[in-house]
Amino acid sequence: MRGKMKKIVLSGIKPTGIPTLGNYLGALKNFVKLQNEMKDYEFFIFIADLHAITVPQDPKELKQNIKNLAAIYLAAGLVPERTTLFVQSEINEHAALGFVMQSISYMGELERMTQYKDKMQKQVQGVSSALFTYPSLMAADILLYDAEYVPVGDDQKQHLELTRDLAIRFNNRFGETFVVPEGLISEKGARIMDLQDPSKKMDKSSEGERGCVFLLDPLSTIKKKIKSAVTDSEAQVRYDKDNKPGISNLMTIYSLISELSYEEIEEKYTSRGYGDFKKDLAELVAGEIEVVQNRYREIINSGKLDALFDQGKEKAKVLAAKKLHKVYKKIGLGRY
Ligand code: ATP
Ligand code: LTN
């Protein structure tokens, strides 16, 4: 279908702030792992700045967050030889196909989206219509590139289901056009919880700063946040997500970084309390993030980002333009 091009794995992250440990363990670390394992696939990772403006953003901060995020992606281990990195708003086809996707999305299905319902409640300055149609744009992001796999955290499952429905709906109405994508959601780490309130997801744009580890926090702050994480009164390091959500969340973080299983961690800490466990975890997390921060500093100061974005834009544009042209033609838009 696409000549000699390899099959595509694609994902995006919003530049809505400094990425968190949740983004890192649920998305970034996973992208890097997949990039290194799935040799038959080409990776497209983009910065979803259009999605970011569905809630108000400060223009200066947004611009800085786009650069920071790209540098963090690379610092986490994405390599330009394997991964095309680009900025969503630089490819106009996203917004154009997003509109087409809106035209085949139903109000009822958008109203059911839990991310919309959550974010709507947090919005004090009014809810934008773009927040509502956000999933149609996300479908466009994915379908433009015929992505086969989309690695994301657990919170994006519902959006991916909708993307699949829209692809199938379009193909049925207008003839085979889109690849129906599949989500890649890792079993462990797809939902890292807030350290102060383990009933809610660690979120970069929520106010709960103390419960959220940001990748560019000073290492001393990171350690402090981990050590003051909420646990329970049993004082036994045991994985039990329902009854011991705090310690279970910390064990997930421990397991993802150390590559030890829950059983191995339990064994290691059988006769030791939460204090010891948290101290070790604080060192583990800080050690992992320190490496990312050091590389981040090199990259952000290297002046190489612009050239990478230009390369990414050029490559993404070719595929996106071709696909949009095909879509317009099928629908009967314009004079194509
Ligand atoms: P916002 O708070 O602005 O909505 P976000 O962090 O939820 O931002 P993105 O930055 O777009 O949203 O998320 C990027 C990726 O990180 C997505 O794949 C998302 O599923 C994943 N992700 C976000 N939060 C977590 C978390 N707490 N645990 C695991 N994965 C997460
Ligand atoms: N909606 C996602 C970010 C996102 C995305 C995408 C992820 C926008 N477009 C396309 C994968 C594929 C989020 O809120 N985390």
- All structural domains of the chain, each given as residue ranges with its CATH number in brackets, are 2-185+302-331 (3.40.50.620), 219-296 (1.10.240.10)
Token pair listed for 301? 């100061």
**Measured at the alpha carbon of residue 174, what is the angle toward residues 171 and 178, in degrees to the nearest 5?**
35
pLDDT of residue 163: 98
- DSSP 3-state of 308: helix
Q: For ligand 1, what atom is nearest to the CA of residue 152?
A: 18
Among candidate residues 30, 61, 31, the one with its CA nearest the CA of residue 45: 31
Going from the C-alpha of 177 to that of each of 19, 41, 140, 180, 315, the distances in angstroms are 34, 20, 12, 10, 20
317 is catalytic: no
User: CB of 207 within 8 A of CB of 19?
Assistant: no
**CA–centroid distance, residue 23 to ligand 1 (Å):** 5
Question: Which segments of the chain have a pLDDT < 70?
Answer: 1-5, 206, 208
d(CA 134, CA 104): 14
The ligand that comes nearest to the alpha carbon of residue 18 is: 1
pLDDT of residue 4: 59
Token pair listed for 54? 């569905």
pLDDT of residue 16: 95
pLDDT of residue 1: 46
Closest Cα to atom 14 of ligand 1:
13
pLDDT of residue 286: 98
Catalytic residue among 29, 201, 244, 323: 201
**CA–centroid distance, residue 2 to ligand 2 (Å):** 24
User: CB of 192 within 8 A of CB of 252?
Assistant: yes
pLDDT of residue 2: 47
Ligand 2 binding residues, C-beta < 6 A: 11-12, 14, 48, 51, 138, 141-142, 150, 152, 156, 159
329 is catalytic: no
Token pair listed for 329? 């033609």
d(CA 107, CA 110): 5
The pTM of the full predicted model, rounded to 2 decimals, is 0.94
Token pair listed for 259? 């590559």
39 is catalytic: no
User: CB of 115 within 8 A of CB of 134?
Assistant: yes
d(CA 255, CA 70): 26
